[in-house]
Amino acid sequence: MEFRDLKHQYKVLKGDIDNAMFEVAASSAYIMGTPVKALEAELSEYVGAKHCLTCGNGTDALTLALMAWGIGPGDAVFVPDFTFFSSSEVVSFVGATPVFVDVCEETFNIDSSDLEKKIEEVKRDGKFVPKVIIAVDLFGLPANYPELRNIADKFGLLILEDGAQGFGGSINGKRSCSFGDISTTSFFPAKPLGCYGDGGALFTDNDEWAGLLESLRVHGKGTFKYDNVRIGMNSRLDTIQAAILSVKLDAFKKYELDAVNEVAYKYGERLSGVIKTPVVPEGFYSSWAQYTIRLNSKEQRDKLQTSLKEAGIPSMVYYPVPMHSQAVYRESDYNKGDCPVSSKLCDTVLSLPMHPYLKTDEIDMISMTIKNILR
Ligand SMILES: *Cc1c(COP(=O)(O)O)cnc(C)c1O
């Protein structure tokens, strides 16, 4: 059994994907060929954002957003403590200071009340200037943007939506990657919409920022390629990845997103009452980058993972270490280690096999095995 069955997906889409790849190979337009522009148009339409710019990966996308806003030394950026390392790495990379914020136990996403508390704290100390909230759509579930927008407005902060895992999710019909002042996603193969290598994208409604991002992703170009007006980077999506993504986006829209929600529903039917299953608040819709259950203790979680492995069922711990405990951040300024929910989640979460092609008999088998182990 596969944790995320990308081989199965390729078999289903092989004809179209192979054609798309060979067309790019024959065209020789390997960098910024027409499939890139076509994909950007498809993505911005799907997400509901005015501009979409693809780039090299999800980490670069976040970095480019912070660069466009001129975030750097002296600035504070608020980041959930429970996330993939990139979400805060990019803050440090541009020279700003990440301030870790606790998360909600049920949704895994940034906790609005702790966020307000941390913003007040930073303002009181006066050492750093609050600038940006990075909200992560962890495991596919959008963060609570209605609440976050109120806080951002109250304190005059920008929202950067890290939708690396969130593509396809929504709140009351409004899609993920449209909630931030700038939003980003990743096309790393295991994400909800993945390519066959690295890839990423940025979304915004703001014309000025879109123009800046366009320049920043290609060496800070000005009016033409060899006119350099600022320091940028080299971060483009390969044409071949764009061509693959167009085929995969089609399948994602037509049935994969529905299918993965069906899998989540079936897991819920079988596992609720046995362990803590993921909570999707009213009006929210997840793209299920992960299906993550919560156990009562680290011992119980570790034992379950070991027993599942013996039964041939892969599972993963996303994430075992909270940001504030990462070696590189242990000594940092706003690392007070006071994110108890995040620490608890690192000890008790377990992600189960999850993808649109998971069969009902596999879900039955996994659920039954979990019940037997925990009995
Ligand atoms: C995967 C991921 C990223 C980084 O994406 P890459 O394409 O691997 O650089 C950033 N944030 C989160 C939450 C992620 O899961």
- The C-alpha atoms of residue 115 and residue 334 are separated, in whole angstroms, by 13
Range of the domain at 21: 6-247
Residue 362 lies in a domain: yes
**What is the sign of the dihedral through the CA atoms of 186, 60, 126 and 181?**
negative
Which secondary-structure segment (H or E) carries 372?
A: helix 360-374
Q: Do 70 and 165 belong together in one domain?
A: yes
Look at phi and psi of residue 5 and say left if phi exceeds 0, alpha if psi is from -120 to 50, else beta.
beta
Q: What mean pLDDT is reported for the chain?
A: 97
Q: Do 237 and 130 belong together in one domain?
A: yes
Q: Do 239 and 268 belong together in one domain?
A: no
Residue 196 lies in a domain: yes
Q: How far is the CA of 61 from the centre of ligand 1 (A)?
A: 9
What's the whole-number mean pLDDT along residues 357-374?
A: 97
* Residue to mutate (ligand 1; options 66, 165, 198; most atoms within 8 A of CB): 165
Q: 290-345, pLDDT tens digit by residue?
A: 999 999 999 999 999 999 999 999 999 999 999 999 999 987 767 776 899 999 99
Q: How far is the CA of 49 from the centre of ligand 1 (A)?
A: 20
334 versus 21: the higher-pLDDT residue is 21
* Residue to mutate (ligand 1; options 81, 83, 87, 161; most atoms within 8 A of CB): 87
Domain finish residue from 201, 223, 247: 247
Q: Which atom of ligand 1 is nearest to the CA of 83?
A: 13
Q: Do 280 and 341 belong together in one domain?
A: yes
Q: How far is the CA of 177 from the centre of ligand 1 (A)?
A: 14
pLDDT of the residue at 330: 84
CATH number at residue 307: 3.90.1150.10
pLDDT of the residue at 225: 82
Q: Which atom of ligand 1 is nearest to the CA of 188?
A: 7
Distances (CA, A) of 111 to 136, 144, 341: 11, 9, 10
* Residue to mutate (ligand 1; options 4, 66, 77, 86; most atoms within 8 A of CB): 86
Structure tokens at 67: 């660069």
Q: In the chain, what are the helix, strand and coil shares in percent, each to the nearest 5?
A: 45, 15, 40
CATH number at residue 238: 3.40.640.10
Which residues does a 6 A CB cutoff place in the pocket of ligand 1? Answer: 57-59, 83-84, 86-87, 136, 162, 164-165, 186, 188, 198, 200
CA nearest neighbour of 217 among 239, 202, 200, 232: 232
Q: 130-151, pLDDT tens digit by residue?
A: 999 999 999 999 999 999 999 9
The structural domain count of the chain equals 2
Helices 58-68, 207-216: inter-axial angle, 10-degree rounding: 120
Q: How far is the CA of 86 from the centre of ligand 1 (A)?
A: 6
Q: Do 152 and 39 belong together in one domain?
A: yes
Q: Do 63 and 114 belong together in one domain?
A: yes
Ligand 1, atom 1, residue with closest C-alpha: 164
Q: Which atom of ligand 1 is nearest to the CA of 198?
A: 7
Structure tokens at 193: 């919409």
- The C-alpha atoms of residue 123 and residue 119 are separated, in whole angstroms, by 6
Q: How far is the CA of 58 from the centre of ligand 1 (A)?
A: 5
Residue 321 lies in a domain: yes
What's the whole-number mean pLDDT along residues 353-369?
A: 98
Ligand 1, atom 7, residue with closest C-alpha: 58
Residue type, 287: S
Residue 318 lies in a domain: yes
* Residue to mutate (ligand 1; options 92, 188, 241; most atoms within 8 A of CB): 188
Q: Could you give the count of Cα atoms lying within 13 Å of 218 in the half-sphere of its Cβ? A: 17
Q: Do 270 and 241 belong together in one domain?
A: no
- The C-alpha atoms of residue 166 and residue 47 are separated, in whole angstroms, by 11
Q: 53-107, pLDDT tens digit by residue?
A: 999 999 999 999 999 999 999 999 999 999 999 999 999 999 999 999 999 999 9
Q: Do 232 and 159 belong together in one domain?
A: yes
Q: Do 234 and 331 belong together in one domain?
A: no
Residue 92 lies in a domain: yes
> What is the residue-wise DSSP string for 21-89?
HHHHHHH---BS-HHHHHHHHHHHHHHT-SEEEEES-HHHHHHHHHHHTT--TTEEEEEESSS-THHHH
Q: Do 243 and 310 belong together in one domain?
A: no
* 289 pLDDT higher than 90: yes
Q: Do 334 and 212 belong together in one domain?
A: no
* 50 pLDDT higher than 80: yes
Q: How far is the CA of 157 from the centre of ligand 1 (A)?
A: 23
Query: Predicted confidence band at 256 (pLDDT cuts at 50, 70, 90)?
Result: very high
Ligand 1, atom 10, residue with closest C-alpha: 86
Residue 1 lies in a domain: no
Q: Do 69 and 189 belong together in one domain?
A: yes
* Residue to mutate (ligand 1; options 64, 77, 84, 139; most atoms within 8 A of CB): 84
Domain finish residue from 226, 247, 268: 247
Domain finish residue from 221, 247, 273: 247
pLDDT of the residue at 112: 98
Which secondary-structure segment (H or E) carries 363?
A: helix 360-374
* 261 pLDDT higher than 80: yes
Q: 166-221, pLDDT tens digit by residue?
A: 999 999 999 999 999 999 999 999 999 999 999 999 999 999 999 999 999 999 99
Name residue, tokens 């997840």: 286
